[in-house]
Amino acid sequence: MKRRIAILGLSGVGKSSLIKGINDTVPLLHLQASDLIKAEQAYQESTPDSSEELRTGAVVDNQLLMIAAYKRKTAATDLPVVFDGHSIIDGLNGLIEIPVSVFSELELDAICYMVADPHLIAERRRADVGRERPHRDVPTLVQHQHLAETRARQVAEAIGCPFILIGDGELGIVVDFISGAGDLAIR
């Protein structure tokens, strides 16, 4: 059975690295929200926006583009799907919650929320010069991480799927779930 999970967390928490580690163990289709939006923009023959424009632009409208690309890409694979995204976006005018309806369209089997030490997140953001993202102080990252985790829990409950909190490098439980060897449980 092809499993579909979302791994959510703040930008800089280490989602992409974790997913790469999972993919080294279990072949999967890794879909990043921003890449899906850009792909759908290109598919619809518009000029793809930069990651910064996606974060600061019409965030909710961009989710419709993301859903369309997600559905097209997941229909064409038999691999487990790992969606790499956010439950909230740090936009120009504050935090924007991603609507529950977006996640329900993804037909997820589970939602994982990844946490890391806010000092580490801040350092990763500063060190990543290849990507534009907001540089927030540690107290702000503590607050954002808490709000995003709360939102991810709300989304999981609203769409009726398991939620699991994972830390930096904790890939075993996700690997087990994707491979069918285990079930995720609220933690």
| Domain residue limits, the chain | 4-31+80-179
Q: Which of 49, 65, 66 is nearest to 57 (CA)?
A: 49
Q: What is the mean pLDDT of the chain?
A: 87
pLDDT in tens, 150-187: 999 999 999 999 999 999 888 888 888 888 766 554 44
Question: Cα(37)–Cα(33) distance, rounded to whole angstroms?
Answer: 6
pLDDT in tens, 94-123: 899 999 999 999 999 999 999 999 999 999
pLDDT at residue number 130: 79
CATH topology of domain 4-31+80-179: Rossmann fold (3.40.50)
Any residues with CB less than 8 A from the CB of 115 and at least 6 apart, and which?
9, 13, 145, 149, 165, 166, 167, 168
Any residues with CB less than 8 A from the CB of 140 and at least 6 apart, and which?
none
3/129: higher pLDDT: 3
Per-residue pLDDT, averaged over 29-46, amounts to 85
User: Collapsing DSSP states into helix, strand and coil, what is residue 81?
Assistant: strand
User: Does 31 have pLDDT greater than 90?
Assistant: yes
Per-residue pLDDT, averaged over 41-64, amounts to 65
